[in-house]
Amino acid sequence: MDEQPFFRKLNSLFTSKEIFDFLSSLEIMSDTMASGALQRISEVEADDNGLKNPEGVLENKVFRALCFQFEFESSKLSNTGLLNALQALIKLRIDPQSTLMASLLSEGEERLGKGQLTVKNLCALGESLIELEGPSCAMLEQIVNHMQDKDIEKWSPREMVMVYKMLQVTVREREQYQDFLNRLNSVTLTIVSQLSPKFTSIVLNSLVVLHQTQAVPLVTALCKRSVRLIPYFTGDELANVLEAFLYFGHREQTFTEALETHVPKSIFTMHPRTVSKVMQYCCQKMILSKPIFDAVAEGFISDVDRFTTDQIAECIVPFGTLNYLPPSASSLFRKLETVLHTRFTHFQPHTLLNLLHSCVLIQRYPVNFLPKIFSPYFLQKLQAQPPGLDRIVTSQLTRLFLTVTLECPFYEGPKLLPKYQAKAFFTPCSSLDVHLMKRVKAGLLYLLKKRIYFASEVSTPYFYAVDIEIKLDEEGFVLPAAQREEVHRRIALCVDGQNRFCINSHNLLGEEAIKQRHLQLLGYEVVQIPFFEIESLHNCRKMAEYLHKKIFPHTYGLSC
Determine the Cα angle at 127 with ends 124 and 131, to 5°. 140
> Do residue 544 and residue 437 come from a single domain?
yes
Residues 6+ apart with CB under 8 A from 360: 320, 366, 399, 400, 403, 407, 514
* Residue that finishes a domain, picked among 189, 217, 250: 250
DSSP 244: H
Residue 108 sits in the same domain as residue 155: no
- 208, 232, 250 - which closes a domain: 250
- Dihedrals phi, psi of 472, to nearest 5 degrees: -125, 150
pLDDT on residue 153: 94
Residue 391 lies in a domain: no
Residues 151 and 76 occupy one common structural domain: no
| 212-220: long-range contacts, CB 8 A cutoff, minimum separation 24 | 212/181, 212/185, 213/248, 215/185, 217/189, 218/185, 218/186, 218/188, 218/189, 218/192, 219/244, 219/248, 219/250, 220/250
Q: Is residue 95 domain-shared with residue 159, that is, in the same domain?
A: no
Task: Tell me what pLDDT residue 461 has.
Answer: 86
d(CA 239, CA 275): 8
Domain boundary among 250, 278, 298: 250
Q: Is the same domain home to 103 and 157?
A: no
Judgement on whether residues 91 and 158 belong to the same structural domain of the protein: no
Assess whether 92 and 190 both reside in one domain: no
pTM of the model: 0.87
What's the pLDDT score for residue 556?
56
Q: Which residues of the chain have pLDDT under 70?
A: 134-136, 174, 556-560
* Domains: count for the chain: 3
Judge whether 225 lies within some domain: yes
**Radius of gyration in angstroms for the set of CA atoms belonging to the chain, rounded to a whole number:** 32
Residue 557: the pLDDT is 44
Same domain assignment for residues 105 and 177:
no
Give the range of the structural domain holding residue 68, as residue numbers without chain letter: 1-116
Q: Would you tell me how many other CB atoms lie within 10 Å of the CB of residue 98?
A: 13
On whether both 111 and 162 belong to a single domain, the answer is no
Decide if 498 is inside a domain: yes
Residue 311 lies in a domain: no
Residue 295 belongs to a domain = no
* 453 in any annotated domain: yes
- Kindly list the distances between the CA atom of residue 351 and the CA atoms of 89, 173, 246, 357, 380, in Å, as whole numbers in the listed order: 42, 31, 20, 10, 15
Closest listed residue to residue 462, CA positions, set 518, 389, 531: 518
Residue 55 resides in a domain: yes
Tell me: do 70 and 181 sit in the same domain: no
Query: What does the pLDDT read at residue 560?
Result: 41
At 123 the three-state DSSP class reads helix
Residue 264 forms part of a structural domain: no
Whether residue 109 is found in the same domain as residue 157: no
Q: Within this chain, do residues 172 and 110 fall inside the same structural domain, yes or no? A: no
